[in-house]
Amino acid sequence: MEFKTKKLLHGGDYNPEQWLDCPDILEKDLDMLTEAGCNVVTLGVFSWSTLEPEEGRFCFDWLENIINKLYERGISVILATPSGARPKWLADKYPEVLRVDSERKRALFGFRHNHCYTSPVYREKTAIINRKLAERFGNHPAVILWHISNEYGGECHCPLCQDAFRKWLKERYHTIEELNKRWCTTFWSHTYNSFDQIESPSPIGETQLHALNLDWKRFVSYQTTDFIKAEIHALREGGSKLPTTANLMYYFNGLNYFELAKAIDVVSWDTYPTWHKQEVIETAYDNGMCHDLMRSLKRKPFFQMESCPTSTNWQGISKLKKPGVLFAQSMQAIAHGGEGALYFQIRQSRGASEKFHGAVIDHYGGTDTRVFREVCHTGSALDKISELAGSNVKSAVALLYDWDSQWAMEDSQGPRNKGLHYKEALLKYYRGFRKLGLNVDLVDMTGDLTDYKILAAPMCYMFRNGFEEKVRKFVKNGGIFVATYWSGIVDDTDRCFLGGVPHGLMDVLGIRSMEIDGLYDWEKNSLIPVSDNLLGLDRTYTCKYLCDLVELRGAEAVMTYGDDFYAGYPALTVNAYGDGQAWYVAADAEKEFQVEFLRRIAEKAGISCGVEGEIPEGLEITTRENSEATYYIYQNWGSQTVEIPLPKGEIQTLYGETEKGLEPYGLAVLKV
Ligand code: GAL
Ligand code: ZN
């Protein structure tokens, strides 16, 4: 099902159930929502105990009343299913819905996001209320989208989940012999005689079979997605045809989002960057990369479901968002292909654990607050650029990000148990491309590579079945492939490849990785350019953490190591293969290396974002396009006003003053 909006969405999570005894406050909220230019709210995320106060007694009138009032004001509703937090009566009567942790201890009632995904009772109770919500509101003209539960995550080790895990394994391996072989269970005599003997990983049991750990993670992801499908199925049974979303989380490690995204119609996510902790632009790259990941999950527009209007109350330091940051953060979601920027939350709760969390309307309750004014400003800007709704982000560059590979790599005991710095490595490549104003997609190993000109795959530890063939074809057909140290080491059950690595690509890359050196935190090596190298690189860069020792098998060395017993060994190599080129970066180089290296590669290949002149420091450029135009979106994350480099063609200004330069946290949108 397609999710299409004519306008960019602006609004957020709203919890009127906390204020049902204050009708005057609810009335005032409506006025304030209108004043802030909000066109949507999310309702019902944690409303189960108000919607069904006792088993089988449903109270939906209050919700209908609010939906109607919002509708009268032209405000749409994203309606949640309430499974994110269950009522007490449910937990008391059916304890099987409570999660069991990895030490096999069952939780008491409390908190949220902590139900068993397998429990037939929980699935049934969720299905009943979802069906009823769909019957009552699934065709209400205000309701535009289903918000399935809230921030799925976590795992349960109860007997029901153990059984489901065994069943899942049996479907995957068919025989116990095959499982033993793929999991390498003869190691430490951990061989299984039957599927019934298998237990999920536990600190008081098995943790050393890496393939078990990996399959457990895959199972948790599968089972959670299956739960989502069951929730959606119930909505369909209730007669609703509306599209669905689930609010995902920042690089969340616990679920394979590429798989989960297949179950929903539109991706949304909750973003809580810690601004001002480092240079603002660095946080913007980190947040931008996550936007790009979310967009890439379905290669379709997504939206920002939650963000804090000012400080949160759960981070180590509750930093206020400085003036302009709320606006800039919201606009970044749009720049990267988002269909809207929503907040958590509209009205600040009065008690319990989030009473000091930032909100559009705080305990004071007036419109004369700094935050409220910024929300209004953001709302009016979103309105002005609303023609961006439905336009797409097209990228020539893909960055590989694969959950299975990351799970396996982070679990394996290897060259650097003290920290592999994987996400930092990814970010260095991302930053290098973004400094050129290039859009970037993130793809996993199942992704289609045909539209890309460059594929960068830092630390691609696992080669899932057939990946090397896909890369070979990509390079053969003219693609530029950038691989790094610690790649192509294991297969998809984390068994090491025999006969040399990077597996299956030694001829494409023209090298073999022989050994890898883990460096102490304080240690450094360096990458020195080879004279007259084909990229014209002329600076020495430091590297840390991991240094791969490679032998040349046809590739050319472009840089070499400066220190240690491997001084002079190749550190950056290139090999021509088919119509393309395969690069190998042997070490974790400082971030200025990627900037220079990727700039030169892109220039040589004639890949650019289309603006003329230098892109100043701190300026982010993203493009979105539709059948009529390409939109150049500029955001200034620096502290000085900067001039913006213009694209070629006939330019119309959709937002911002381009002649005077772009002020800090400012936005400019040009239509070409
Ligand atoms: C999100 C969650 C919201 C709220 C928010 C606070 O992770 O979905 O319900 O708790 O955090 O920042
Ligand atoms: Zn369970």
Residue 625 bridge partners (DSSP): 392, 630
> What are the backbone dihedrals phi and psi of residue 439, each rounded to the nearest 5 degrees, phi first?
-70, 150
Q: What is the distance between the alpha carbons of residues 373 and 378, in angstroms, rounded to a whole number?
A: 9
Q: What is the pLDDT of residue 498?
A: 98
345 Cβ closer than 6 Å to some ligand 1 atom: no
What number is the average pLDDT over the span 6-24? Answer: 97
Kindly give the pairing relationship between strand 630-636 and strand 440-443.
unpaired
Is 152:255 a contact under the CB 8 Å cutoff? yes
Is 504:468 a contact under the CB 8 Å cutoff? yes
Instruction: State the pTM of this model.
Output: 0.98
Q: What percent of the chain has pLDDT over 90?
A: 99
Q: What is the distance between the alpha carbons of residues 269 and 250, in angstroms, rounded to a whole number?
A: 7
- Nearest atom in ligand 1 to the alpha carbon of residue 249 is 7
pLDDT in tens, 235-275: 999 999 999 999 999 999 999 999 999 999 999 999 999 99
Q: What is the pLDDT of residue 653?
A: 97
239 in the Ramachandran plot: left (φ > 0), alpha (ψ -120 to 50) or beta?
left
Write down all domains in the chain, each with its CATH number in brackets. Answer: 9-86+112-155+220-388 (3.20.20.80), 397-605 (3.40.50.880), 619-671 (2.60.40)
Q: What is the pLDDT of residue 348?
A: 98
pLDDT in tens, 446-467: 999 999 999 999 999 999 999 9
Q: Is 183 helix (H, G, I), strand (E, B) or coil?
A: helix
Q: Considering every ligand atom, which ligand is closest to the CA of 158?
A: 2
pLDDT in tens, 359-404: 999 999 999 999 999 999 999 999 999 999 999 999 999 999 999 9
344 Cβ closer than 6 Å to some ligand 1 atom: yes
- pLDDT exceeds cutoff 90 at 1: no
149 Cβ closer than 6 Å to some ligand 1 atom: no
- pLDDT exceeds cutoff 90 at 91: yes
- pLDDT exceeds cutoff 90 at 657: no
- pLDDT exceeds cutoff 90 at 355: yes
Q: Which residues are tagged catalytic?
A: 151, 306
> What are the backbone dihedrals phi and psi of residue 452, each rounded to the nearest 5 degrees, phi first?
-100, 150
Kindly give the pairing relationship between strand 454-457 and strand 556-561.
unpaired
- pLDDT exceeds cutoff 90 at 328: yes
Q: What is the distance between the alpha carbons of residues 257 and 99, in angstroms, rounded to a whole number?
A: 22
Average pLDDT, the chain: 98
Q: Output the CA–CA distances (angstroms, integers) from residue 393 to 356, 363, 414, in the order listed.
A: 37, 39, 38
588 Cβ closer than 6 Å to some ligand 1 atom: no
357 Cβ closer than 6 Å to some ligand 1 atom: yes
Q: Considering every ligand atom, which ligand is closest to the CA of 270?
A: 1
Residue 511 bridge partners (DSSP): 552
147 Cβ closer than 6 Å to some ligand 1 atom: no
Q: Which two tokens stand for residue 367?
A: 């419109």
Cis upstream peptide for 502 (omega within 30°): yes
Mutate to test the pocket of ligand 1, among 149, 344, 353 (most ligand atoms within 8 A of CB): 344
- Nearest atom in ligand 1 to the alpha carbon of residue 313 is 12
> In this structure, which residue's CA is closest to atom 12 in ligand 1?
312
Mutate to test the pocket of ligand 1, among 114, 151, 346 (most ligand atoms within 8 A of CB): 151
Is 98:91 a contact under the CB 8 Å cutoff? yes
Q: What is the distance between the alpha carbons of residues 453 and 436, in angstroms, rounded to a whole number?
A: 15
Q: What is the pLDDT of residue 215?
A: 98
pLDDT band at 142 (very low <50, low <70, confident <90, very high): very high
DSSP annotation of 81: P
Q: What is the distance between the alpha carbons of residues 213 and 397, in angstroms, rounded to a whole number?
A: 32
Q: What is the distance between the alpha carbons of residues 598 and 484, in angstroms, rounded to a whole number?
A: 13
